[in-house]
Each structure stands twice: as C-alpha cells, then as structure tokens.
C-alpha cells in the first residue's frame, strides 16, 4: 500500500511505499517523523486493510479515481483547439470527428484509471490492491463534517483572546 500525504509539520507532499511494513512516516523536507499506530493497518489474508488514516487517524475515507485532472483538462483543450481549426477550414466531418474522439479518449482514460482512497479530514491518499474494497464514494455530508471539525481545531489551536498576556 502506498500513501501520499501533506506533512502535518511543514505541509510538504510526502509519498511512501509499502506502508504496511513501516513503523514511521518521515518527511524528507523537515525530517519530522509520524509514528504509525499499530492498529492502523490490519492484515486479513494476503491484503492489508486500512483501519484509520495514518496521518490524522480519521476512519472515514472515500473512493476516487486516481486521475490527474490536469491531464483530462489538457485533452479537452487540445481537442477543442483542433476542432476549431477544422471548423475554420470548413471541415465539418473532421470537426465532429475530433470532438467525438476527444470525448471518447477522456471517457476511456477515466474508465481505466485505477481508484484510490482519499481521507476526508487530511486528504491523504492511499493506493494499492484492495485498498478501496470497504469504502464508498464521496459523501458531501461527511466532507462537510470534517471540514468544520478541521476549522474548529484550527480556531482552538490559535491564540485565544482570553489567554493571559506574558
């Protein structure tokens, strides 16, 4: 199983392979280490299962396509530009052929892209065989719950107005 997450100390994007055999996640940018809780990953049979997030310990995840949005957008932009050129040259059949091919390519890429698991709270991503098996798709209510919890924690962590002056 692989993880990509933002370092809680410095915010750098950190990636680790084979996390089921690691004890800590260390950040190459700031050298902060994050101890992996022992019960975070359990083995059932041959596939390791994720119990809670290694970074924020949340138990809620959603399944998403591991699709780089920039690639999808680039295909659409190139397809549109090419179809405009064909349109300007009065190549009606070519114009629609290009548009159709663009849409088809996007669809095929989407269908064949692997899925990954995304943590609602800290946006850590998990990839690997069977990692998405026990989880469902994106749920707006759960997302909103975590967003508010994170915002509250940030407020509490900041300087409190009633704190004694030092």
Distance CA 138, CA 161 (A): 37
Q: Nearest distance from residue 65's CB to Zn ion, in Å?
A: 19
Residue 22's φ and ψ, nearest 5 degrees, are -100, 155
Report H helices in 56-139: 69-88, 92-112
Exposure of 72 by Cβ count < 10 A (0-12 exposed, 13-18 middle, 19+ buried)? middle
* 131 forms part of the interface with Zn ion (CB under 5 A): no
Site string for Zn ion, 17-56 (x = CB under 5 A): ----------x-xx-x--------------------x-xx
Distance CA 166, CA 161 (A): 13
Dihedral angle computed from the Cα positions of residues 107, 111, 117 and 118, in that order, rounded to the nearest 10 degrees:
0
Give whichever of 117 and 121 is closer to Zn ion, judged by the CB atom: 121
Q: Nearest distance from residue 119's CB to Zn ion, in Å?
A: 3
Q: Which of residues 116, 121, 125, 128 is near Zn ion by CB under 5 A? A: 121
Q: Nearest distance from residue 7's CB to Zn ion, in Å?
A: 3
Using CB under 5 A, count the residues that bind Zn ion: 16
**How much helix, strand and coil, in percent to the nearest 5, is found in the chain?**
35, 20, 40
Give whichever of 32 and 101 is closer to Zn ion, judged by the CB atom: 32
The residues in 57-116 that bind Zn ion, with binding defined as CB under 5 A, are: 58
Closest CA relative to residue 24, chosen from 3, 50, 51 = 3
Q: Which of residues 36, 50, 86, 124 is near Zn ion by CB under 5 A? A: 124
Residues that bind Zn ion (CB under 5 A): 7, 9-10, 12, 27, 29-30, 32, 53, 55-56, 58, 119, 121-122, 124
């Amino acid at each position: 199983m692989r993880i990509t997450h933002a370092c809680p100390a410095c915010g750098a994007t950190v990636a680790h392979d084979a996390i089921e055999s690691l004890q800590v996640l260390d950040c190459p940018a700031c050298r902060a280490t994050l101890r992996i809780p022992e019960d975070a990953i359990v083995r059932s049979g041959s596939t390791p299962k994720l119990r809670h997030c290694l970074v924020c310990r949340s138990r809620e995840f959603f399944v998403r396509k591991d699709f780089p949005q920039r690639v999808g957008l680039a295909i659409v932009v190139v397809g549109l530009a090419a179809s405009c050129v064909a349109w300007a040259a009065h190549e009606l059949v070519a114009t629609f052929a290009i548009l159709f091919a663009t849409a088809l390519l996007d669809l095929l890429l989407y269908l064949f892209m692997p899925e990954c698991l995304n943590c609602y709270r800290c946006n850590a991503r998990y990839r690997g065989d069977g990692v998405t098996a026990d989880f469902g798709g994106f749920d707006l209510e759960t997302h909103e719950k975590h967003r508010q919890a994170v915002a509250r924690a940030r407020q509490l962590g900041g300087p409190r107005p009633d704190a004694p002056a030092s």
